[in-house]
Amino acid sequence: MRRTSDIVSVPLWQEKIAAPRLADRPLPAAVDVLIVGAGYTGLSAARETAAAGRTTLVLDAAAVGAGCSGRNGGQVAYSIKPSPGKLSSRYGTERALAICREGREAVAYLRSLATQGGVDCDWRERGCFFGAHTPRHFKAMAREARAQHPALQQRITVVTPAEQRQEIASDFYHGGCVYHDDASVDPMMLLLALLRRAQDGGAAIQDHCAVTAIRASRAGFEVQTSRGIVRAQKVLLATNGYSGPVSRWHRRRVISIGSYQIATEPLGKERVLSLMPQGRNMVDSRRVVVYFRPSPDGERIIFGGRAALGEKDPIACVPRLRAMLTAIFPQLQAVRISHAWVGWVAYTFDTMPHVGQRDGLYYCMGYCGQGVPLAPYFGMRIGRQMAGLSDGRTALDGLPFPSRPYYFGTPWFLAPSVWVFRTLDALGI
Ligand SMILES: Cc1cc2nc3c(=O)[nH]c(=O)nc-3n(C[C@H](O)[C@H](O)[C@H](O)COP(=O)(O)OP(=O)(O)OC[C@H]3O[C@@H](n4cnc5c(N)ncnc54)[C@H](O)[C@@H]3O)c2cc1C
């Protein structure tokens, strides 16, 4: 195995496309809209407020895309986690159906941006193979695929264990399903395209400028930054898994969890295709899920998941992630890993994204590790809301945003939860 000291801790995508360093410009004294966070959410919202004629300033504490938007897996799927049945029991049938529709629209919106809207992001609609971890999981997923909820008619093909090798050169799974509408993007290309869109719409973006406090004022808000104070009529928190002390209320409602990825060294296109013949995304039915896909150039495999009980340096997680990869592909026993990285995704206690405002402060966050389609879409919607447009409304507006007693932003329950889930997975339960 390669020495870990040779492994680069930069996301593979950023090797080809580095995050841009934006010119330092004097901050305006006042704007109509100030957005905290320059990831997919913040940039998408900024495009809408600027295009509607509102002076818009986006600030990021680090580089554009330093958060998850520059370091994700680029997989695009229907991403509302609770099932339609669970949504119905929580919010009633009508609202549940409307929420499912939003989930589908999020994928459709990204597809339309990529295929007709000039957002050049290496959009590929090759689908996703969802591998069954146990025969019982296979039965359940095949049953669900055959009796899909009317709100969620996705194109799904059941793949029996006997057919599985058409999808993956592995016997690790017990069959699975192909979700044909799923797609993939190059995360950095998407980020840069959304950055350009926001700038072309008239938004000003400033990197390396942290927001340190937000105070309500008579005309809106006074925003303290590392480079001085900016007054803003409206403010959006688009900080997702990087939500810090600026709003304690939000910090108590998002659970920042590290998601870890590795990239193999180039294996050659033929070898990658021999392992994943359809070139699809892959995920599986374990509680501690893993996800992988060919790199955009088809030369490598990019593999991600939860590698440790607590948070760790991404390089320290390589042996475990590599072992998880080779459990699926024993043929890769001698494979070398060239890149390893981590980013902070935002889980929520009800596994729902949350869009809305509290005391006049807008927020859009909590994608539970699935923001590639959700963040551009809900960012667009909240931007329209802030601009006072009626099509900014969403079926998620005003959903209760739960916290838990004794949770103040440090997920002390994470390690024991991962341990329990991992044990149940190992027992095949
Ligand atoms: C390893 C990994 C793999 C993933 N894979 C997938 C996938 O395959 N499919 C999928 O759908 N999703 C995936 N995700 C999740 C997805 O990337 C995120 O949900 C999405 O990018 C969130 O975008 P965002 O703009 O809301 O937040 P982010 O991109 O995280 O941006 C938040 C920004 O806020 C900034 N910020 C925070 N506090 C302040 C402050 N006080 N002042 C100024 N700026 C501040 C941060 O610097 C950061 O840039 C993955 C995430 C990771 C980490």
pLDDT in tens, 67-77: 999 999 999 99
- Per-residue pLDDT band at 192 (split at 50, 70, 90): very high
Q: Report the pLDDT value the prediction gives residue 4, as an integer from 0 to 100.
A: 61
Least confident residue range of 148-152, 269-273, 326-330: 148-152
- List residues bridging with 103 in a β-sheet: none
Segment 27-45 mean pLDDT: 98
Both tokens of residue 41?
A: 């959410």
Segment 31-56 mean pLDDT: 98
Instruction: List alpha helices for 202-351, DSSP H.
Output: 248-251, 269-275, 318-328
Helix pair 40-51, 187-201: axis angle to 10 deg: 20
Instruction: Give the Å distances, CA to CA, from 38 to 47, 97, 148, 316, 357.
Output: 12, 31, 37, 28, 19
Instruction: State the DSSP string of 359-417.
Output: TTEEEEE--TT-HHHHHHHHHHHHHHHHTT-GGG--TTTT------TT-SS--TTHHHH
pLDDT in tens, 90-124: 999 999 999 999 999 999 999 999 999 999 999 99
pLDDT in tens, 44-64: 999 999 999 999 999 999 999
Residue 5 pLDDT > 80, yes or no? Answer: no
State the Cα–Cα distance between residues 397 and 378, nearest whole angstrom.
11
Least confident residue range of 135-139, 196-200, 281-285, 288-292: 288-292
From the alpha carbon of 43, which atom of ligand 1 is closest?
Answer: 25
Q: How remote is the CA of residue 165 from the centroid of ligand 1, in Å?
A: 34
pLDDT in tens, 385-418: 999 999 999 999 989 999 999 899 888 888 888 8
- Contact status, residue 12 vs residue 301, Cβ threshold 8 Å: no
- The one-character DSSP state at 8 is B
1 or 348: which leads in pLDDT = 348
Mean pLDDT of the chain: 94
- The one-character DSSP state at 335 is P
| Helix%, strand%, coil% for the chain, nearest 5 | 35, 25, 40
| pTM of the entire predicted model | 0.96
Residues 6+ apart with CB under 8 A from 179: 77, 78, 127, 128, 130, 154, 155, 156
Residue 2 pLDDT > 50, yes or no? Answer: no
Q: Is 369 left (phi over 0), alpha (psi -120 to 50) or beta?
A: left
Instruction: List residues near ligand 1 (CB under 6 A).
Output: 36-42, 59-62, 66-69, 71-75, 79, 210-211, 238-242, 244, 246, 259, 261, 304, 343, 345, 365, 367, 369-373, 375
- Per-residue pLDDT band at 1 (split at 50, 70, 90): very low
202 or 20: which leads in pLDDT = 202
- Give the gyration radius of the chain's Cα atoms: 21
Query: SS3 of 137, please?
Result: helix
Q: Is 279 left (phi over 0), alpha (psi -120 to 50) or beta?
A: left
- Contact status, residue 111 vs residue 263, Cβ threshold 8 Å: no
Tokens 């997975």 sit at which residue?
425
- List residues bridging with 230 in a β-sheet: 223
Both tokens of residue 85?
A: 């049945």
Which of 72, 281, 364, when mutated, tests ligand 1's pocket best, judged by the most ligand atoms within 8 Å of its CB? 72
Tokens 């100030």 sit at which residue?
34
From the alpha carbon of 42, which atom of ligand 1 is closest?
Answer: 25
pLDDT in tens, 319-370: 999 999 999 999 999 999 999 999 999 999 999 999 999 999 999 999 999 9
pLDDT in tens, 207-264: 999 999 999 999 999 999 999 999 999 999 999 999 999 999 999 999 999 999 999 9
Residues 6+ apart with CB under 8 A from 30: 230, 231, 232
Q: How remote is the CA of residue 190 from the centroid of ligand 1, in Å?
A: 13
